[in-house]
Amino acid sequence: MKLPNKLDESVDISDYFGRYIGDPIQIDTQRWDKLNFYQNRFLQRKGWVFVSYMTEDFICSVAIVDVGYLGNGFVYLYDRESNQLYEEKVTMPLAFDINFHPSLKTDWKLTGISQAWKLLPQNDSYCFSYSGRKIIGEINFKINKPGLNVITHSIGRPFHYTYKNMGLSASVSIQVNKKQYQEVGNNAVIDFSFGYPPRTTTWNWASLMGNAEDGTPIRINLVAEFNNGLENALWFGDNILFLSQSIFKYSGSIRGSNIKIETTDGILQIQFFPEGFREETIDVGFLKSEFVQPFGRFEGIYANNGKPVKIKGIGLLEEHVAIW
């Protein structure tokens, strides 16, 4: 089944549960948002855009999150040479209008005191900018190749949708405490997700970019404990391969040094070596979120048509527990 560019409110969305390769889509959520006098809009629907640019010198990530009754934004830059992490963040009540409809065709804006996050789309090009107290800059990127779309059921709720794409053409220019970080390359990652995730949601996530031993670019997206393995995919050169369930193995905290990841189909075996991490805890009673995102390097084996290929690169992991 082909996934259309837009699903309107008359569509039975369960007919489209599954994963697809293609462009990001728009989903009209009005019929669910208006239930119970818009309680679903504010109490159940969540949406976020996360973009990261990864290089041998630094990793920069920026995000805007609409949790319904709260808005959250963060930006960080991790300098791999100096092992320094710089970050800014904000959490605000009712930061998005009642009629805000998340998509990658929509302007996203989140403004705090002396802080401003903006994601501005123009056709297949995007500018994700941040202006704050110590950090200012932007990531400009293009969605110029097919990505991964997943639409799936959500326990007791209508659905959840996510779009992932990796190795996107981009430029980054970030100033941190008057030091400039600039780069141009195919090193951007996007995670756009929205819908109605379960009240209690947990996941591990890996977003990795590197190369095989012959120089072939390799990009890896893995999620465990959420969406039943449907988000697991590997970009090998120009090809996208669906993967099976992923297993994250670590003792205690994901901040630790001994982290192994594998897929149950035996196609991937990875060891991840954290160099630093960002974490955030939000607890406002009815909403709790514990978030840890290590970043660093990885190495491992990819079974390419049964032939083991050594791979290595950089990326980030995530451990997330939310009650929302």
Give me the pLDDT at residue 27, please.
96
Cβ–Cβ contacts within 10 Å for residue 228, how many? Answer: 12
Cα(276)–Cα(85) distance, rounded to whole angstroms? Answer: 8
Percent of the chain with pLDDT over 70: 100
pLDDT of 122 over the 90 cut: yes
pLDDT of 37 over the 80 cut: no
Which residues have CB under 8 Å from 319's CB, separation 6+?
204, 253, 254, 290, 291, 292, 293
CATH, domain range 1-198: 2.40.370.10
Residue pair 74/63 in contact (Cβ under 8 Å)? The answer is yes
Question: Of 43-47, 72-76, 285-289, which range is least confident?
Answer: 285-289
Residue 133, phi-psi category: left (phi > 0), alpha (psi -120 to 50), beta (remainder)? alpha
Question: Of 32-41, 45-54, 147-156, 179-188, which range is least confident?
Answer: 32-41
The sign one gets for the Cα dihedral 176, 188, 52, 96 is positive
Determine the Cα angle at 122 with ends 117 and 124, to 5°: 110
Cα(284)–Cα(310) distance, rounded to whole angstroms? Answer: 45
Give me the pLDDT at residue 290, please.
93
Q: Work out the burial of residue 317: count CB atoms within 10 Å of its CB; fewer than 13 is exposed, 13-18 middle, 19 or more buried.
A: buried
The domain segmentation of the chain, as residue ranges, is 1-198, 199-324
Domain 199-324, CATH number (from 3.40.50.280, 2.40.370.10, 1.20.1740.10, 2.40.50.140) = 2.40.370.10
Q: pLDDT for 176-204, tens place per residue?
A: 998 999 999 999 999 999 999 999 999 99
Cβ–Cβ contacts within 10 Å for residue 38, how many? Answer: 14
pLDDT of 36 over the 80 cut: no
Which residues have CB under 8 Å from 64's CB, separation 6+?
48, 49, 71, 72, 73, 108, 110, 117, 119
Q: Does the global pTM surpass 0.85?
A: yes
Confidence of residue 115 (pLDDT cuts 50, 70, 90): very high
Q: pLDDT for 218-243, tens place per residue?
A: 999 999 999 989 999 999 998 999 99
Cα(298)–Cα(262) distance, rounded to whole angstroms? Answer: 12
Cα(98)–Cα(40) distance, rounded to whole angstroms? Answer: 11
Give me the pLDDT at residue 286, please.
80
* Longest alpha-carbon distance in the chain: 57
Q: To the nearest whole number, what is the mean pLDDT of the chain?
A: 95
Q: Mean pLDDT, to the nearest integer, of 64-78?
A: 96
Equal CATH topology for 1-198 and 199-324: yes
